[in-house]
Structure 1
């Protein structure tokens, strides 16, 4: 494999179709910018993994894309529809979010958490269909038999899987995941990485996946967005050579090892 390709993100959307677009996006909590100014063009129906050191604004980017930060500078849109207006995402944009703290409702059981999200995101679907979808995704994430437990009766890893099941179940246009596998053991983590890719292939959405793990970013992302702690443009790295491989072949392929070396080199240079 040749050295990983760094793409000028300003021209990507024009070539592949409009998706998540940021223009001069800046977030400032009053003590200086924590993100940006940032320009990004991430076409629809792609998986974009986000890497960067602590303080580079990875989680802040997800919160802005989720419509949770109405006061940011610049603009942010999905499919040409603005995000952040009046403090909410566009009403016609279905967004799934898996935050670091899981975001579960403590007074609801695991299955009720998923059904509630479905009721909000898919109000036109029947109660039976929403219930079946909730059961299916809880089973796929390894939670069969635990559907009736409240969050306090679940381990951190199990709570994280409920949050993942909830996000997938609503079949979002834009899926935002903030280190969703960080609390899981290695085997469960690899199982859910495969599930994520299989689910995306069956039901393609635009996915922004924050991780601190270089290997995970390469295994999952079609493209990799690298943020830096210092002000500066993001680097968008093409990862198609690895992404297009069969899942079971990725870790052993030369393309994976070359991309790992390439990204670590960029990270050292951009400290």
Structure 2
């Protein structure tokens, strides 16, 4: 049995190369505690999405180690939820059917139909989109589609949750609403979460720590504590001194490493 200090996602000297041996991701080291949430910032090409693909299992070839609760991530039967930037919804399936497909993949033996439907309705209600259950993705707005994607990710009850710039294509008001909605439901049903973003404010609002990837693959990422902001009520964060201080610190790192 792993000790509590080993619990969570441990990334040890993770390195990914393209076929031409060029680095796609330099050596990355960090430990994300179980049920913690870290946000990831980095310039284009720094390896943000590559890091998520390696953790998700979509990128099987890499150097280094990926551990979860002290054991190899690849040798465990762990549910991993993914919320991609492009929503990842099946256009020929209704909203409810999209979530049902994900639940079936996550648990092939399945729940009884009544329990499954209740769980789907619970998450659609939580995201404020129960009335869209029988609609098709292409008939929905971007914000509505992203709510479906978040509901789908939570409905499978993942141990690890990966989010790849999920709100970047949304307008500012919709983005702020979904940031708060996501955080509220992550706190109610916590998973060990990595959240990639290109938005400094979003990284500060949502992360217990912030990983800033450099433009140079030979440099180590900067890992910044953010508890002074994260521990505040969500509505108080933007107006706090800690929020503005963190913006200054991150921009300084960006100037030095980007």
So what's the TM-score if we normalise by structure 2? 0.91
What's 2:9 paired with?
20
> Deviation of residue 47 (structure 1)?
0.8
1:16 and 1:221, CA in 2 relative to 1: closer, same or farther beyond 3 A?
Answer: farther
Following superposition of structure 1 onto structure 2, how do residues 48-67 of structure 1 map, counting pairs within 5 Å? 48-67=38-57
> Deviation of residue 35 (structure 1)?
0.4
1:227 and 1:190, CA in 2 relative to 1: closer, same or farther beyond 3 A?
Answer: same
The number of equivalent residue pairs is 254
What's 2:202 paired with?
216
Unmatched tracts of structure 1, length 5 or more = 1-13
What's 1:178 paired with?
164
Q: What do the CA deviations read for 1:7-39 (whole angstroms, capped 9, x no partner)?
A: xxxxxxx98443111222111122301102222
Residue 43, structure 1, aligned to residue 37, structure 2: no
Could you tell which deviates more after superposition, 104-113 or 137-146?
137-146
> Deviation of residue 215 (structure 1)?
0.5
Task: Give the RMSD, CA atoms, in angstroms.
Answer: 2.0
Counterparts of 1:124 and 1:149, CA distance in 2:
24
What's 2:87 paired with?
102
- Asked if 2 retains the 8 angstrom alpha-carbon contact of 1:109 and 1:149, the reply is yes
Residue 75, structure 1, aligned to residue 65, structure 2: yes
Counterparts of 2:150 and 2:104, CA distance in 1:
17
Counterparts of 1:196 and 1:81, CA distance in 2:
28
Q: What do the CA deviations read for 1:92-117 (whole angstroms, capped 9, x no partner)?
A: 21110011222222221111011111
What's 2:23 paired with?
33
Q: What do the CA deviations read for 1:53-112 (whole angstroms, capped 9, x no partner)?
A: 1111001111111111111122212223323x4xxxx45211100112222222211110
1:36 and 1:173, CA in 2 relative to 1: closer, same or farther beyond 3 A?
Answer: same
Counterparts of 2:131 and 2:16, CA distance in 1:
42
1:137 and 1:184, CA in 2 relative to 1: closer, same or farther beyond 3 A?
Answer: farther
Unmatched tracts of structure 2, length 5 or more = none
What's 1:5 paired with?
none
What's 1:3 paired with?
none
So what's the TM-score if we normalise by structure 1? 0.87
What's 1:254 paired with?
241
1:15 and 1:233, CA in 2 relative to 1: closer, same or farther beyond 3 A?
Answer: farther
1:147 and 1:125, CA in 2 relative to 1: closer, same or farther beyond 3 A?
Answer: same
> Deviation of residue 51 (structure 1)?
0.5
Instruction: Give the 3-state SS of the residue equivalent to 2:29 in structure 1.
Output: strand
Q: What do the CA deviations read for 1:156-178 (whole angstroms, capped 9, x no partner)?
A: 33222211110011121100000
- Asked if 2 retains the 8 angstrom alpha-carbon contact of 1:99 and 1:180, the reply is yes
- Stretches of 4+ moved more than 6 A in 1? none
1:133 and 1:44, CA in 2 relative to 1: closer, same or farther beyond 3 A?
Answer: same
Counterparts of 2:238 and 2:94, CA distance in 1:
37
